[in-house]
Structure 1
């Protein structure tokens, strides 16, 4: 497995960074994609220290040409692609009645369309390597709420898209799944809690302590929790997992 090459988007922070560092144990090379080049260099150093060769690429996958450029640079450097792990994509948490057309469009541009284009451009290489694609969604795909209107809508679209790619992948020998994280403590989550706390008459510390119980979980997830799930799906042991929507949220979503 050590000669395998993976592309990880959103690799500069949070779940993307943790996933890249974890996959450095299993892959020989990691292509690290994000808009923040400074933070990306920090991830590259951690990947190198973990034993894999990094290729940091500053790219905005909202731009249509960026996906093909990412694939081209990956093949020029490593000559193959064995996995594409789509994690990039921040969707604004705004009430459905308040979101503008521009905010809706931007929510879809990176997380859905950027991931779709990257998978499409990498597909021929993935067929040759019998590789894998993971699309990162979120548990709001299965329980959308008004304040998460765009988040839930985009996430649900990603799950449906992953199913379609997985169906094609059965014929082409490419494994495709989606991963649906719940409340993971990242910088983005902390920023959200900084707004949530005063709106509910609490200090930030109180909100961070009480929020897990309020949503019915024992603790926040860590980026490393999701990274381990990603690694399992991409391992030989996870190969028969195809077209699955893998929710990892500490039990927040109670529905079947």
Structure 2
């Protein structure tokens, strides 16, 4: 693997067992040092070990990005550890309500916006001085939900659409400081979380995981689903110097399920 992020420092928020972990490990393999942030400290330690095993350096910071003081501490700890920040990847995720909007609790919608939109905005604001110094990048992890209006995704679509709008505005506002702001919109990500969900669905409907996969992948041009590595690689590209002239964009990674 090339060293797209050699000697860079990447802050990843919302690190869990799925995309966050993969992002951290692949950033390390590309030569980066990483700051891992999430609410669950024990989970961070596991990912930090994976990063070390991949030959990278990781610092863990327990952080709640919906809390301003906690977010400020993340910035302080990141700079104390490495002295600079070259990219911020906003990867925080909350499980959507999966109900029609008519029956979705407003508090659930507010909580989604608080984490997905305001959390990412808060971190971007707080890291702006460091990113301006390094002429760095922000990568916001979005979702293909912004490309469709399927039932029961309403509250999730509201939050992710607002995140996309914020990303575009931030690209315009921060561009003069040399900061790039882009988004990645994954489709279904073929990883442990989706495998568990498909297994649950297979059990519920008396079918197999393979059949559910085939049915789901049938809607894509490539007749398959992107895996976690492939989604992570898109974010790494946008965080890297290879994307130095790219800002205000959203890169869809869905094997051709939706065209944009």
TM-score (norm 2): 0.90
**Paired residues of 2:78 and 2:85 also in contact (CA < 8 A):** yes
Residue 63 of structure 1 is matched in structure 2 by 67
Q: Does 1:123 align with 2:116?
A: no
The one-character-per-residue Cα deviations of 1:106-139 (angstroms, maximum 9, x if unpaired) are: 1112121111101100000100010110011111
Question: Which residue number in structure 1 is paired with residue 19 of structure 2?
Answer: 15
Q: Is the 8 A contact 2:220 2:256 kept in 1?
A: no
- Larger mean CA deviation between 21-30 and 242-251 belongs to 21-30
User: Separation in 1 of the partners of 2:220 and 2:158?
Assistant: 20
CA contact (8 A) 2:220 2:254 kept: no
2:147 to 142, 148, 152: 142
Q: Which runs of 5+ in 2 are unaligned?
A: none
Paired residues of 1:145 and 1:152 also in contact (CA < 8 A): no
Q: Return the match for 2:218 from 205, 209, 213.
A: 213
Q: Secondary structure at the match of 2:218?
A: helix
Match of 1:99 among 104, 110, 132: 104
On the 8 A contact 2:190/2:227 being kept in 1, the answer is yes
Residues 90 and 210 of structure 1: CA distance in aligned 2, closer, same or farther (over 3 Å): same
Q: 4+ residue runs of structure 1 moved beyond 3 angstroms?
A: 190-199, 214-217
What value does the CA root-mean-square deviation take over the aligned residues?
Answer: 2.0
Aligned length: 254
**Tell me, which stretches of 5 or more residues in structure 1 are unaligned?**
none
Matched, 1:242 2:252: no
Shift of 1:230: 1.4
Q: Give, in whole Å, the separation in 2 of the partners of 1:28 and 1:251.
A: 30
* Counterpart position of 1:33: 37
Answering whether residue 138 of structure 2 is matched by residue 133 of structure 1, we say yes
Q: TM-score, normalised by structure 1?
A: 0.91
